[in-house]
Amino acid sequence: MFKKSLLISVLIANLSLINAQNIAIDNIVESTYSNNYTLKALEESIKSAKEQINLSSKWKNPTLTFGASDIQFDDITRRDLEPMQSQFIGFSQVIPMGDKLEIEKKIATNDYEISKYSVEDKKLQYKSKIYEYIYKIKLLEERLSLFEEFKSNTSKLENLLTELYKYNKASQTQILNTQIMNQELNLKSQKLKTMLNTINLKLEQITYKKIEDININTNINEIILSKDIESHPKILSLTQVSKKQENISILEKEKKNSDIKVSLTYFQRDEKFEDYINVAFAIPLSVYGSEDIKSRKAKFKTLEINNKLKDMKLTFKNQIKTYQQNINDSLITLNIINKNIIPKFKQLQKVLETYNSFNSYKKVDSKSLINNFNEIIKYRLKAVDEKEKYFSALAKSIYFTKEI
């Protein structure tokens, strides 16, 4: 009962630590959302799309015409020579017929929703990338720390061999090999520092500020990724694109009900003649079937997008499964390395050290010591590589699962 309570307490403590770390990173994410100019540009496009909804329901502006007819070249001021001479002012208006304006409003609404989902999709991309960079930075720092520890150990080994050399229990070759190994570690450390600086610059490019040290625990835990993709902005955006094409198809058919252009013109003539008005109606005739062709074209586009949507859903699900597999594999591999392999090498190191300390009649077997020490280094670095595989999969999965 006590062990169970202790285990629950440890789990709660781990969850609290993870949540605190996520909040720290999420604060950086929220700051990025506020400062990133790409997101600001996309958010402005939302405002533009919203205005288009209001615009789509408006009638076309009326047309005002005015002028004079039958102007005589001999005397342009004479307006009483014949009945056809008049001054006129006219007004014309296109009157939409059917449900075209309502459908155009639906299309504008589709565009508005698509623009909103584009912003959310971009935010997820940034969030995923920020988590990925921060985890990489922490694991690079972990590697550097390991190399510093390894360099310290090789220096101790070099000092030991130097002392033993005085008593003819170690050779100069052994000392030189240890020095070479230490320099190789220096080269690898320098390479890691360069990589660390590069990742920090990439993170700064997204967040628009230099990120100070974030205390993140890189211990790994079993995790189950969410498989709910239906609410993902990329999926919802493509769904809206499909709906938009359906509405375009309906609109093209509706255009067969042509809008009517009504014109009213008042003609003012000389006082010898009576004034009069003209009333005209203009109706485009849909006789060539272009609307039907455009409607079918939009329908085919809808089917195309629906197939893309199905393919995208499969891709999302498979990608989540892949990341889950990578996470699971890393957990198993790390468990084997940390619990089975490294302890054995450490045990062997102690055996070799004990053997060398008691073997006073022969030279120290530094080759076995160094080889075993190298194996410990190799597997501790493999452990960090597996953690990077784990956290890389976890960070990239954020884009698909929307959470961590």
> How far is it, in rounded angstroms, from Cα 110 to Cα 206?
29
Write down the residue that tokens 């359906």 correspond to.
246
> How far is it, in rounded angstroms, from Cα 321 to Cα 325?
6
Q: Which helix (H) or strand (E) segment is 262 a member of?
A: strand 260-269
pLDDT score recorded for residue 301 = 95
380 within 8 A of 153, measured Cβ to Cβ = no
Strands ordered across the beta sheet of 86-95: 63-69, 86-95, 260-269, 276-282
User: Model confidence at 152, in pLDDT bands (50, 70, 90)?
Assistant: confident
Q: Which residues pair with 93 in a beta bridge?
A: 262
CB-count exposure of residue 258 (10 Å: 0-12, 13-18, 19+): middle
Structure tokens at 207: 């967040």
Q: Which helix (H) or strand (E) segment is 66 a member of?
A: strand 63-69
Structure tokens at 396: 């990239």
pLDDT score recorded for residue 298 = 94
User: Model confidence at 367, in pLDDT bands (50, 70, 90)?
Assistant: low
Arithmetic mean of pLDDT, 196-212: 89
Write down the residue that tokens 């709660």 correspond to.
12
Q: For residue 36, which phi and psi values (nearest 5 degrees)?
A: -70, 125
User: In one letter, which amino acid is 69?
Assistant: S
User: Model confidence at 23, in pLDDT bands (50, 70, 90)?
Assistant: low
Most confident residue range from 144-158, 178-192, 202-216, 311-325: 311-325
Q: Read off the pLDDT of residues 65-105 as tens digits, 9 standing for 90 and up.
A: 999 888 877 777 777 777 778 889 999 999 999 899 999 99
pLDDT score recorded for residue 359 = 54
Backbone CA torsion sign across 314, 322, 17, 21: negative
Domain 2-72+82-305, CATH 3.30.390.10 — does that match? no
pLDDT at 19 over 70: no
pLDDT score recorded for residue 14 = 44
pLDDT at 394 over 80: yes
pLDDT at 293 over 70: yes
User: Model confidence at 17, in pLDDT bands (50, 70, 90)?
Assistant: very low
99 within 8 A of 251, measured Cβ to Cβ = no
User: Model confidence at 64, in pLDDT bands (50, 70, 90)?
Assistant: very high
The more confidently predicted of residues 25 and 136 is 136
For 100-110, letters b (16+ CB in 10 Å) and e give bbebbbbbbbb
Arithmetic mean of pLDDT, 379-404: 91
pLDDT score recorded for residue 307 = 97
pLDDT score recorded for residue 11 = 42
The more confidently predicted of residues 375 and 218 is 218
Q: For the CA atoms of 170, 171, 173, 178, what is the dihedral angle to 10 degrees? A: 20
Q: Which helix (H) or strand (E) segment is 281 a member of?
A: strand 276-282
> How far is it, in rounded angstroms, from Cα 222 to Cα 197?
31
Nearest Cα residue to 55 out of 17, 101, 6:
101
User: Model confidence at 182, in pLDDT bands (50, 70, 90)?
Assistant: confident
Q: Among 203-212, 256-265, 355-364, 373-382, name the one with the lowest average pLDDT.
A: 355-364
- Does the predicted model carry a pTM greater than 0.85? no
Arithmetic mean of pLDDT, 112-123: 95
Arithmetic mean of pLDDT, 203-225: 86
pLDDT score recorded for residue 89 = 94
Q: Among 156-170, 220-234, 269-283, 379-393, name the one with the lowest average pLDDT.
A: 156-170
Most confident residue range from 77-86, 132-141, 283-292: 132-141
Structure tokens at 145: 């720390």
Mapped onto helix, strand or coil, the DSSP state of residue 99 is coil
| Percent of the chain's residues with pLDDT above 90 | 51
> How far is it, in rounded angstroms, from Cα 94 to Cα 105?
18
pLDDT score recorded for residue 390 = 96
Backbone CA torsion sign across 306, 308, 310, 313: negative
pLDDT at 13 over 50: no
pLDDT score recorded for residue 361 = 44
Please state, in angstroms and as integers, the Cα–Cα distance from residue 267 to each residue in 29, 264, 273, 389, following that order. Answer: 68, 10, 11, 83
Arithmetic mean of pLDDT, 327-346: 88
Structure tokens at 194: 């360069």
- CA diameter of the chain: 143
pLDDT score recorded for residue 395 = 94
Arithmetic mean of pLDDT, 158-177: 81
User: In one letter, which amino acid is 88?
Assistant: F
Q: Which residues pair with 398 in a beta bridge?
A: none
Mean pLDDT of the chain: 85
User: Model confidence at 150, in pLDDT bands (50, 70, 90)?
Assistant: confident
The more confidently predicted of residues 217 and 127 is 127
pLDDT at 372 over 80: no
Every domain of the chain and the residues it spans: 2-72+82-305
> How far is it, in rounded angstroms, from Cα 140 to Cα 147?
11
